[in-house]
Structure 1
Amino acid sequence: MRRYAETRKVVHGDLDELDHVNNIRYIHWIQEISKAHWLSATNATLQKLGIWVVRKHDITYFKSAQLNDELCLVTHVQQMKGPISTRVVEISDNKTGVLLVRAITDWCFLDTQLLRPKRIPETVNKLFQ
Structure 2
Amino acid sequence: MAFQKELVVAHDDLDDLNHVNNVRYVQWIQDISKQHWQTIATKKMQEEVIWVVLTHHIEYKRAAVLGDPIQISTYIASSSGAKCVRIVEMIHGTTKKLLVRSSTEWCLLDSITYRPLRIPEAIKKIFL
| Structure 1 unpaired stretches of 5+ | none
Q: Distance in 2 between matches of 1:86 and 1:117?
A: 15
Q: Distance in 1 between matches of 2:117 and 2:41?
A: 17
List structure 1 segments (4+ residues) > 3 angstroms apart after TM superposition: none
Q: Aligned ranges for residues 98-109 of structure 1 at < 5 Å?
A: 98-109=97-108
For normalisation by structure 1, the TM-score amounts to: 0.97
| Structure 2 unpaired stretches of 5+ | none
Report SS of the residue matched to 1:74: strand
Identity in percent = 42
Report SS of the residue matched to 1:97: coil
Equivalence for 2:61: 62
Deviation at 1:26, TM superposition (A): 0.1
For normalisation by structure 2, the TM-score amounts to: 0.98
Q: Distance in 2 between matches of 1:83 and 1:43?
A: 19
Deviation at 1:66, TM superposition (A): 0.2
Q: Does 1:87 align with 2:86?
A: yes
Number of equivalences: 128
Equivalence for 1:16: 15
Q: Distance in 1 between matches of 2:21 and 2:6?
A: 17
Equivalence for 1:52: 51
